[in-house]
Amino acid sequence: MVAHLLRLKLTLLRNSLRRSPWQLVGLGIGALYALGIVGVGIAGLLLLRQADVATAQTVVVLGGAAAVLGWAIIPIVASAADMTLDPARFTTFAVPMPQMLTGLALAGLIGTPGAATSLVALATVGTWSRSFLGAVGALVGAILGVLTCVVLARVVTAGTVGLASSRRFKDVSAIAFLIPLVLMGPIVAGVARGIQSSAGFVAELARFLEWTPAGAAWALGGEFAAGHYGTATLKLLIALASLAALALCWKVLLERALVTPPYAGTAKKKTSGLGLFGMVPATPTGAIVARSLSYWLRDPRYAGSLVVVPLLPVLLWFQASQSGFYGLLQFVGPLTAFLLAWSIASDVSYDSTAFALHVSAGVRGSQDRLGRAVACLVFALPIVLLFSVVPMFIIGDWTLLPGILGLSLGVLFTGLGLSSVVSARYTTPVPLPGDSPFKKPPGNVAQTLAVQFGGMAVLLLLVSPELALVAVQLAGGGPVPGWICLALGPVLGFVLFVAGVRLGGKWLEVRAPELLAQLAVNR
Amino acid sequence: MTFEHLQPPAAAAPVSPADPAPPVPALALRGLAKRFGTKIAVDGISLDVPAGSFYGIVGPNGAGKTTTLSMATGLLRPDFGTALVHGVDVWQRPLEAKKLMGVLPDGVRLFDRLTGEQLVSYAGLLRGMDRAVVVSRVAELLAALDLSQDAGTLVVDYSAGMTKKIALASALIHAPRLLVLDEPFESVDPVSAANIRDILERYVASGGTVIVSSHVMDLVQRMCDHVAVVAGGRVLAAGTVDQVRGGESLEDRFVHLVGGRSHAEGLEWLRTF
């Protein structure tokens, strides 16, 4: 039965690859990325062999505990839990529980994260291969530790399945997860500084974690290598007991889940009235503005990029305060303008096949383009203006303001025009409606990259007059180029915006059915 | 509850017997064909749907029903052939043709982060309708489809049947002359299905044309006056329901035409427990 489950998992993996060669490319890229991390991890662990026992022990235990934490958290926040072997699908098959548990746990090791964790964990055997007993201890510890990771992930998924299938939780957690991700740099720097100031703290933390389920298994190798057989036995018992306890938890949760399927329809959100649709002009363009704005607010895939926007100046300010060079902070306006304008470059892809409504309603291409662009402009314009002015205020140097304002407006309008053309012509594989914003479906990677980088190159070319003027001013050309830029940016941007909406509209009208067919493939 | 709004505007003027010109069909397909890779999904379908008829399209899974209807409604470009809606070529003059049609496609998503009320209003406004008209029609449609309670719920939180009904409302809002509904009764509860049937029958009675695709023969036999049997991308039979079924029940006739019925041989072990 266990072998059956493992074979099922492998078959599922192979069949998913057979659906299209691009799936294979996606897996390949994921595997390469993982391989890089694994390579670094293994090399580091092997190098630790030369380090003194205490340091090696600290690193191994902290790394192991971090892995356990990761396996516990990532399935919920990223809603990326691997549900191919969802226990609920075995309800009708009467699989004996012990075999089901073993099979599912081992199946969890198949796939990139499982394989990566196992490989790195096994490398700890290398770290402790200074003595035979150390190596054996490390091997036992690695097996116990990896199993703890896998089972813990299963417990967490089983325990939160009701929560995780509620749409509101998914929406909120996906966005909330973005914030630490974006602020990773400052957080890491802050933690690093904290560690520098109290070097003893890390070691203390590791000593503490060794006695908890998160770190006990990972400490075995070090304890055996150091010859502390008493504590080693105690920690082995802790590790075994926590694995057993987790397995028991999982069993209970699974038994419950098998007879009570999750109830998803909690707390339906009720809003009365037309909302934004009552505020826009009653035209197709107005309706599209209202629809797009509703999506910017309600769809985590859009809202996610809105959350990033206020974090951008924070990030740049942090960078500036670290390096003492505030020059980059002045460019937060144009940068935000670029981000927001480019964000609608895959607008039609985000619609997925819901775009069929626009096709069957016979919406004119230019109305479609203009509606989406204006919706973005409604919030992008005030944000970009604010972000262009406030940094000058912080730095107390206003000389660059006219040039930056011109550049920001130029980038914003030009970018919106360009995005209107790009999204009318190309679809890109994006997370499907209702999926986590992190779940990039594999697709034509080459085309996606070509569209992204090609589009950015074209944008750079289109705003090159504004860029050149700001560069001249920065190079000591006096305030005049800045003022020229302030006049030129909005005018040139607006002309390109209108041209983009027109051209994109024309293409959209001609190719709407083909676009819809592509969307149906990507879905 | 009245449905004046839903009545098709300017139903084709009655043709007097002396009039030599034949009436323009609501939908005329000529040699429609579509190939996906090496698989020919639709292999030259020609069909006339008379104005004012309730037309059923039946066929086994994978017969090409959805592909045909997508090509007829301007959602999928045919490799060959033409589609005319009340004489307007769907692929030459798409904007004009689409004004005449209300479409319920199968297997496409909706803008499901809108509330039900917003989605139907969106469909109306996209058609360039006046806001006051949209608001009053949306309220009537939601009441008629028993969705008033859930008007303010996001469509993503709807059940499958409710989703089908809200998509139907989006297709009806602009009172089209031709309704093309792909599997409109799938996962809809019996009471709602009866209500929808009432709405459609009254719509046909006042001169509108309805095309539905379905697997449910019984439903088509009771509801439709015309039927076409499609299999393997071709029309096997088309005409009035009585012509097509020729004395048999539509279901028997269908199985007859399409074939592929396995006479319960083998599977003896199923009776041994």
What separation, in Å, do the N-terminal and C-terminal C-alpha atoms of chain A show? 34
**Pairs of CB atoms within 8 A across A/B:** 118
Separation CA A60–CA A67 (nearest Å): 11
Q: What is the pLDDT confidence band of residue B110, given thresholds at 50, 70 and 90? A: very high
Q: Among all residues of chain A, which has the CA nearest to that of B75?
A: A513
- Interval B182-239: pLDDT, tens: 999 888 888 888 989 999 999 999 999 999 998 888 889 989 999 999 998 999 999 9
Separation CA B57–CA B231 (nearest Å): 10
DSSP A336-393: HHHHHHHGGGGHHHHHGGGGHHHHHTT--HHHHHHHHHHHHHHHHHHHHHHHHHHHHH
Separation CA A242–CA B207 (nearest Å): 73
- Is A166's Cβ below 8 Å from some Cβ in B? no
Identity at A368, one-letter amino acid code: D
Predicted ipTM of the assembly:
0.88
- Decide: B150 and A308 in contact? Cβ < 8 Å: no
Q: Which of B112, B152, B156 sits opposite A272 (nearest CB)?
A: B152
Q: Among all residues of chain B, which has the CA nearest to that of A267?
A: B157
Q: Do A513 and B77 touch (CB under 8 A)?
A: yes
Separation CA B40–CA B232 (nearest Å): 9
Domains of chain B and any CATH numbers: 35-258 (3.40.50.300)
pLDDT at position B78 is 95
Separation CA A476–CA A400 (nearest Å): 11
- Interval B58-76: pLDDT, tens: 988 888 999 999 999 999 9
pLDDT at position A412 is 96
- Interval B128-166: pLDDT, tens: 999 999 999 999 999 999 899 989 888 988 988 899 999
Q: Do B123 and A357 touch (CB under 8 A)?
A: yes
Distance from CA of B174 to the nearest CA of A (A): 10
Separation CA A178–CA A304 (nearest Å): 7
C-alpha Rg value of chain B to the nearest Å: 20
pLDDT at position B29 is 95
Distances (CA, A) of A518 to A397, A429, A510, B65: 50, 10, 14, 20
- Is B139's Cβ below 8 Å from some Cβ in A? no
pLDDT at position A394 is 83
Q: Among all residues of chain A, which has the CA nearest to that of B118?
A: A274
Question: Per-residue confidence of chain A (523 residues) as pLDDT tens digits?
Answer: 778 888 888 887 777 677 666 667 767 777 788 888 899 989 998 888 888 888 888 889 989 998 998 888 776 665 444 555 666 677 677 778 888 888 888 887 877 788 888 999 999 998 888 888 889 999 999 999 999 998 898 888 777 766 656 666 666 766 676 677 777 777 777 777 777 776 677 788 888 888 888 889 999 888 888 888 889 999 999 999 999 999 999 888 877 777 765 554 444 555 667 888 888 898 999 999 999 999 998 888 888 778 888 888 888 888 777 777 777 888 899 999 998 999 898 899 999 999 999 999 999 999 999 999 999 999 999 999 999 999 888 888 888 899 999 999 999 999 999 999 999 998 888 888 877 666 666 556 677 778 888 988 999 999 999 999 999 998 887 889 999 999 999 999 999 999 999 999 999 999 999 999 988 887 6
Residue B5 has pLDDT above 80, yes or no: no
Helices (H), A78-198: 97-107, 112-127, 132-159, 161-164, 167-182, 184-197
Distance from CA of B41 to the nearest CA of A (A): 14
Distance from CA of B246 to the nearest CA of A (A): 36
Q: Do B134 and A517 touch (CB under 8 A)?
A: no
Distance from CA of A521 to the nearest CA of B (A): 12
- Interval B21-44: pLDDT, tens: 678 899 999 999 999 888 999 999
pLDDT at position A196 is 72
Helix B190-205 crosses helix B160-172 at what angle (to 10 degrees)? 10
Q: What is the pLDDT confidence band of residue B15, given thresholds at 50, 70 and 90? A: very low
Residue (of A193, A38, A12, A203) closest to A117 by Cα position: A38
- Is B77's Cβ below 8 Å from some Cβ in A? yes
Coil, strand or helix: which one is A298? Answer: helix
Q: Do B114 and A291 touch (CB under 8 A)?
A: yes
Distances (CA, A) of A271 to A268, A504, B117, B155, B158: 10, 34, 10, 12, 14
Residue (of A20, A2, A170) closest to A81 by Cα position: A170
B104 forms bridges with which residues in the sheet? B181
- Interval B254-267: pLDDT, tens: 888 888 776 666 77
Q: Among all residues of chain B, which has the CA nearest to that of A294?
A: B114
Task: For residue A516, list chain B residues with Cβ-Cβ distance below 8 A.
Answer: 75-76
pLDDT at position A111 is 75
Distance from CA of B261 to the nearest CA of A (A): 29
pLDDT at position A316 is 82
Burial of residue B120 (CB within 10 Å: 0-12, 13-18, 19+) is buried
Burial of residue A498 (CB within 10 Å: 0-12, 13-18, 19+) is middle
Task: For residue B105, list chain A residues with Cβ-Cβ distance below 8 A.
Answer: 356, 360
Beta strands in A27-66 (DSSP E): none
B36 forms bridges with which residues in the sheet? B39
Q: Do A282 and B98 touch (CB under 8 A)?
A: no
Q: What is the pLDDT confidence band of residue B92, given thresholds at 50, 70 and 90? A: very high
pLDDT at position B14 is 45
- Is B173's Cβ below 8 Å from some Cβ in A? no
pLDDT at position B73 is 94
Coil, strand or helix: which one is B84? Answer: strand
Token couple for A352: 């997925």
pLDDT at position A441 is 64
The pairing of beta strand B226-231 with beta strand B80-85: unpaired
Q: Domain segments of chain A: what residues?
A: 2-259, 275-522
Distances (CA, A) of A321 to A186, A326, A331, A404, B87: 11, 7, 15, 21, 70
